Amino acid sequence: MKLLVFAGSTRAQSHNRKLAREVAALATASGADVTHLELGDYDVPMYNADLEAQGTPADVMKLKQLFYEHPAWIICTPEYNASYPALLKNTLDWLSSPVKSDPVWKDDFRFSRGKVVGVLSASPGALGGLRSQSHLVPLLFNLHCWVSPKVFGLGRAHTAFDEQGKLAEEGNRARVQDVIDQVLWAASRLQAE
Tens-digit pLDDT profile for residues 111-152: 999 999 999 999 999 999 999 999 999 999 999 999 999 999
pTM: 0.96
**H-assigned helices in 30-85:** 49-53, 58-68
Distant-in-sequence, close-in-space partners of 125: CB < 8 Å, separation ≥ 6: 79, 155, 156
User: Residue 160 is part of which domain span?
Assistant: 2-192
52-62 pLDDT per residue, tens: 999 999 999 99
Burial class (CB in 10 A: 0-12, 13-18, 19+), 41: exposed
**Number of structural domains found in the chain:** 1
Per the prediction, the chain carries an average pLDDT of 96
Instruction: Identify the CATH number of the domain in which residue 171 sits.
Output: 3.40.50.360
83-119 pLDDT per residue, tens: 999 999 999 999 999 999 999 999 999 999 999 999 9
Q: Specify the pLDDT at position 193.
A: 61
Rounded distance, CA 119 to CA 136, Å?
8
Residue 11: is its pLDDT beyond 70? yes
Rounded distance, CA 193 to CA 191, Å?
5
